[in-house]
Amino acid sequence: MESAASLNRLELLQVADAVAREKVIDRDIVLEAMEEAIQKAARAKYGHENDIRANIDRGTGEIRLIRVLEVVEAIENEATHITLAEALRQSPEAAVGDLLSEALPPIDFGRIAAQTAKQVIVQKVREAERERQFEEYKDRIGDVINGIVKRVEYGNVTVDLGKADAVVRRDELLSRESFRQGDRIRAYIFDVRREQRGPQIFLSRSHPQFMAKLFTQEVPEIYDGIIEIKAVARDPGSRAKIAVLSNDSSIDPVGACVGMRGSRVQAVVNELQGEKIDIIQWSPDQASFIVNALAPAEVAKVVLDEEASRIEVVVPDDQLSLAIGRRGQNVRLATQLSGWDIDILTEEEESNRRQAEFTERTDSFMKVLDVDETIAQLLTTEGFTSVEEIVNVEEIAEIEGFDEDIAEELVNRAQEYIRTFNAEMEEKRQALGVSDELVAIEALSGPMIVALGEAGVKVLDDLADLAGDELVSSEDGILKEFGLSLDEANDIIMGARAHWFAEEESSDDEESISEES
């Protein structure tokens, strides 16, 4: 009988070892699951109200069952409490609050108890396995991994990674790409999340960084840090652009990524199902970088607006379609790569637009300053764009064909026009009933105040209740004619809301004074 019991105890440890090895989890976790299962079965036999604990000896496999009782003065629960008098008979040193353990005889597992124990062990082992998988893969976000396709459901691919399963959602695959069970697949780990059904490992083949990692594997100079990948933009399965920079002046980054006869880039192209890749020299000079990014199109000139992160690119007429690309692909990828909004114009379009701007400004100066076309054209040619800029007599006198008397007269006329215009705006503002508090917002000009008043925005709260889009939307923005950016509009609105916060602070101060009183 003893030998049979010993055999059972040894078998218990052997099973724990086998499960731990198979699931790649700690042996103690398996034994703890077994202890919990035995406790559950023992409580089913002795009563669930009892505090029964099981312990498996890690060396011999012997199972010990104990019932834990708390020493109390007055018994409230007979299953878990024992009086001090009874406790002293068992242990002379017992005191109220102590926990006494009482040995229980081992139990024979019935069919139902064994089934319950098995379920508990399976559940605990599964939880431990999930935790191990999460811990192993959460630090591997950003890695490229190989696996075997396990199944394909509704276009989503489940991948067997060996120690865990991962999923490639349909929108993370390349277009026209299909996999079948048993196919090998290479993908990028872009997210690992804890979920109720276990850790979810999400893979992607369309992520921009997948291409960057493939280049890192193919180009030793990138792996060694000699060449840096500065930016990546992809239209998955169709075309991509990658910007690279060399930290060693003797190494050409583009040539290193292309490889001998294109061998390196071709290896990446093959993995990405023929996706065309433009490798571009990165430059800290944004204009140069954007010119490179628009390759293979040639660029005649660029005009940067740094505040709006916008760039105007002028190309020869025959390069327009190449610069824009099929369905706007080339300019879209260049925008993603650089982070700038890119407007593309032909030389003819730019010339026509500049001519229209020149004519418009000239006509404006003729009307506002009451001067002839020659003087208005000279002002426009010198770069003056509005009457507000005509303030410095010396600066205007330096224009060829002007003298100091003409310059003084122009400045006087400009100032007189501004005074008259501001007076008209003030009169309109008062007629519309726009409050003085609204006028006090520095970023709002007279015409803006009038535009707001005409739209029914007359006090601070009216403006504070608006969103930035309602001011600058190209369709129905109240101030759309004034060329404000969304950030500038939001700043104006925050200025209008400032009194809300001041009132809150004042209210808080009054409350604290009241409480102190």
Question: Of 179-193, 244-258, 468-482, where does mean pLDDT reach its minimum?
Answer: 468-482
80/250: higher pLDDT: 250
Q: What is the pTM of this model?
A: 0.58
CA distance 271 to 216: 14
Q: Which residue has the higher pLDDT, 508 or 256?
A: 256
Q: pLDDT digits over 301-343, tens only?
A: 888 777 667 788 888 888 888 888 888 888 899 888 888 888 8
- Evaluate whether 470 touches 453 at the Cβ level (below 8 Å): no
Q: Is 244 left (phi over 0), alpha (psi -120 to 50) or beta?
A: beta
Integer Cα distance of 226 and 412 in angstroms: 62
Check pLDDT > 80 for residue 33: no
Would you state the pLDDT for residue 241? 92
Would you place residue 232 in the very low, low, confident or very high pLDDT band (cuts 50, 70, 90)? Answer: very high
Q: Are 311 and 286 in contact (CB under 8 A)?
A: yes
| CB 83 within 8 Å of CB 73 | yes
Q: What is the pLDDT of residues 137-168, one digit of tens each?
A: 888 888 888 989 988 888 888 988 887 788 88
Q: Looking at residues 397-414, what average pLDDT do you find? A: 80
Paired strand residues for 243: 231, 280
Q: State the pLDDT confidence band at 230, using cuts at 50, 70 and 90.
A: very high
Q: Which residue has the higher pLDDT, 264 or 348?
A: 264
Q: Which fold would CATH assign to domain 142-206?
A: OB fold (Dihydrolipoamide Acetyltransferase, E2P) (2.40.50)
Q: List b or e across 461-490, with b for residues whose CB sees 16 or more CB atoms inside 10 angstroms.
A: ebbbebebebbbeeeebbbeebebeeebbb
Q: Which alpha helices (H) appear in 48-191, and where do they start and end?
A: 84-90, 111-137
* Across 210-214, 254-258, 461-465, least confident range: 461-465
Specify the higher pLDDT residue, 79 or 211. Answer: 211
What fold characterizes domain 2-132? N Utilization Substance Protein A; Chain:P; domain 4 (3.30.1480)
pLDDT band at 2 (very low <50, low <70, confident <90, very high): very low
Share of the chain above pLDDT 90, in %: 9
Whole-number Å distance between alpha carbons of 192 and 134? 7
Q: What are phi and psi of 155, to 5 degrees?
A: 85, -15
Tell me the domain boundaries of the chain: 2-132, 142-206, 209-349, 364-498
**Stretch among 205-209, 273-277, 372-376 having the lowest mean pLDDT:** 372-376
pLDDT for the residue 1? 33
Helix boundaries (H) for 138-262: 208-218, 220-223, 253-258
The pairing of beta strand 310-315 with beta strand 341-346: parallel
Three-state DSSP at 323 gives: helix
State the DSSP code for 173.
S
Whether 222 and 229 have beta carbons less than 8 Å apart is answered as yes
Token duo for residue 274: 């023929």
Q: Residue 81 — very low, low, confident or very high, per pLDDT cuts 50/70/90? A: confident
Would you state the structure tokens that stand for residue 186, as one six-digit string?
A: 């290479």
Separation between Cα atoms, residue 210 and residue 259, nearest integer Å: 19
**Is the N-terminal amide bond of 296 cis, ω within 30° of 0?**
yes
On the question of pLDDT at 375 being above 80, the answer is yes
Q: Which amino acid is at 240?
A: A
Using alpha carbons, select from 29, 32, 43, 34 the residue that is nearest to residue 11. 34
189 or 132, higher pLDDT: 189
What fold, for 209-349? GMP Synthetase; Chain A, domain 3 (3.30.300)
Confidence of residue 393 (pLDDT cuts 50, 70, 90): confident
CA angle 133, 137, 143 (to 5 degrees): 155
